[in-house]
Amino acid sequence: MTAAAARTISVVQGIDDAQLGDPTPCDKFQVRDLLNHLFQVVVNFQALATRTPADFATTPDALVGDWRSRFATETETLAKAWSDPATLAGVSPGMGLPQEAVAGLVLLDLTVHGWDLAQATGQPYTPDPDAVAAMHPLAEKMAPQARQMGVFATPTDAAPDATLFDRLLSLTGRKPEPTP
């Protein structure tokens, strides 16, 4: 999670305020919306690591003040919260899933939305290969439910020689393309 977080932090720090209204590959979000969603995920999944209730009902505007540094701090706190192997034991009372799956979900959000933001803002993005390998089986398993809930879009076709990350992006409904 630490390696995946570092890659997304780098992308977030490279976003210019003038890009906040730009579209992203995640159809329902502009850059601002996706950043606020990612802030919400990062903060709430810190709570889920400690089996504390999380509030996903509202998405506050987190893009005030020095939001880039705050995102880095919150994301580093998230990675630290999940670094204790004990956090992976048992079932999440807030999500009703094994804690290991909950950790996989936040890893998926950090990685895929890191790519979304990089694509939207013209930045390079190379995911952590170990993170992609760890989350791909979970994404495949959760895909039908994620589509039903509107979290994943209809899958796109991946090239026969696609990387594991490109196949993951296709699974979530994105069209893997090089950053402009």
Q: Does 159 map to a domain? A: no
In a domain, 163, yes or no: no
Taking each helix axis as running N to C, give the angle between helix 129-148 and helix 164-171, from 0 to 180 degrees, rounded to the nearest 10. Answer: 20
- Three-state SS string over 63-86 comes to CCCCHHHHHHHHHHHHHHHCCCHH
CA–CA distance, 135 with 103 (Å, rounded to integer): 9
**CATH code, domain carrying 150:** 1.20.120
Domain that holds residue 139: 2-154
Q: Which amino acid is at 137?
A: P
Indicate whether 173 belongs to any domain: no
pTM (2 decimals)? 0.93
Residue 169 lies in a domain: no
Domain assignment present for residue 127? The answer is yes
Q: How many domains does the chain have?
A: 1
| pLDDT tens per residue, range 73-104 | 999 999 999 999 999 999 999 889 999 999 99
What are the φ/ψ torsions at residue 98 (nearest 5 degrees)? -55, 140
Least confident of 33-37, 53-57, 101-105, 122-126: 53-57
Residue 170 lies in a domain: no
36 falls within a domain: yes
